[in-house]
Amino acid sequence: MTASVLYLQCAKALVLQQKGNLMELVDPQLSSELNKEEAIRMIKVAILCTNSSSALRPTMSAVVSMLEGRTTVDEVIMDPSVYVDELRFN
């Protein structure tokens, strides 16, 4: 996957998060076998991990804790244009 495709996917995820439609990122063929709550948690963690600012990304121990459900996933609302701006400079 190229960097530009990755940035566009991240921007799409942010837009879907803002709309409350994160499940649109999940393959529809998996939806019947999937724990929706876990899928949304995983997507939210992925969004946190792709923050353009490394200082705002969670530590790996925090990621593990969030994925295991021991801590809540902080929902950071970022502007999707951050990823588009990043494309312009790469």
- Mean pLDDT score of the chain: 79
- The vertex-41 CA angle with 39 and 44, nearest 5°, equals 110
Distance CA 55, CA 42 (A): 20
Q: What is the pLDDT of residue 79?
A: 57
Residue 33, amino acid? E
The residue ranges of every structural domain in the chain are: 3-89
> 88 or 63, which is more confident?
63
Question: Is a pLDDT exceeding 90 seen at residue 66?
Answer: yes
Per-residue model confidence as pLDDT tens digits over 38-49: 999 999 998 888
Global pTM reads 0.74
pLDDT reported for residue 41: 93
CA distance 75 to 21: 14
